[in-house]
Chains A and B, each alone.
Chain A
Amino acid sequence: QVQLVQSGAEVKKPGSSVKVSCKASGGTFSSYTISWVRQAPGQGLEWMGRIIPILGIANYAQKFQGRVTITADKSTSTAYMELSSLRSEDTAVYYCARVIRDGYNNGWFDPWGQGTLVTVSS
């Protein structure tokens, strides 16, 4: 049974960066696709990007291009999401999730990490 455990809550100043980790257990980490999704307070889910650890290739939603970096460390089965130039609108819960691909450039998110609250405040 795959489980994803994320790092703890962060409080950051505007203009700084945050790096959130997502450690996987169970299954074969290198063969996963890991996506990052965020949810601002009272808002919906927003896909940020994904990485395929075995290939080391990351893709990002256009909205976050240039500001987000997703990486993976196969030796520790851990994925990372770093978001830079933080602003108050980046205050959100950030989730990682394994993506099971359906063969049509699509796939489903299961399971999800427990979420990491990032608060951006001066």
Chain B
Amino acid sequence: SYELTQPPSVSVSPGQTARITCSGDALPKQYAYWYQQKPGQAPVLVIYKDSERPSGIPERFSGSSSGTTVTLTISGVQAEDEADYYCQSADSSGTYMFGGGTKLTVL
């Protein structure tokens, strides 16, 4: 079955750039979406259609795509960005799936 693979954890110091990857065979043909989830809260969309940023999401959040890998980049990381991040996409039949999640730690 189709899967999306993320690193379990990423750590950066404040002000540095964090990059979180998500790999999957269908990603060249399907958009990817990214969600931020803080403890005890529902997920929040931070990137849609690989690289579009919803209104209200800070400009330091950006997304990119290359082949079977999509990347969420957070430039100038702030303490408030510490959270779990999930990528999401779908297979050709429209079955949605999520990556396993990446815990971003701000040192």
Contacts and interface: CB of A to CB of B under 8 A. Distances in A.
Contact of B49 (A37, A99, A102): A102
Given A102-B49, A105-B90, A110-B54, A47 B42 contact: no
Interface in A40-61: 44-47, 50, 59, 61
B43 A112 contact: yes
B54 A113 contact: no
B100 interface: yes
Given A44-B99, A45-B98, A112 B48 contact: no
Contact of B88 (A59, A95, A100, A109): A109
Interface in B63-98: 86, 88-98
A108 B30 contact: no
A46 B88 CA distance: 10
Interface residues of B, number: 28
B94 A59 contact: yes
A71 to B, nearest CB: 19
A47 B31 CA distance: 17
A45 B94 contact: no
Nearest to B1: A62
Nearest to B93: A105
Interface in A44-91: 44-47, 50, 59, 61-62
Contacts of B91: 105
A122 interface: no
A17 interface: no
A108 B30 CA distance: 12
Task: Indicate the member of B29, B44, B88, B92 with the most A CB atoms within 10 Å.
Answer: B88
Nearest to A48: B96
Contacts of A106: 30-31, 89-90, 94, 96
23 contacts: A44-B98, A44-B101, A45-B37, A45-B43, A45-B101, A46-B98, A47-B95, A59-B94, A61-B95, A61-B96, A95-B42, A102-B49, A104-B30, A105-B91, A105-B92, A105-B94, A106-B30, A107-B96, A108-B45, A108-B48, A109-B35, A109-B45, A113-B42
Interface of B: 29-31, 33, 35, 37, 42-45, 48-49, 54, 86, 88-101
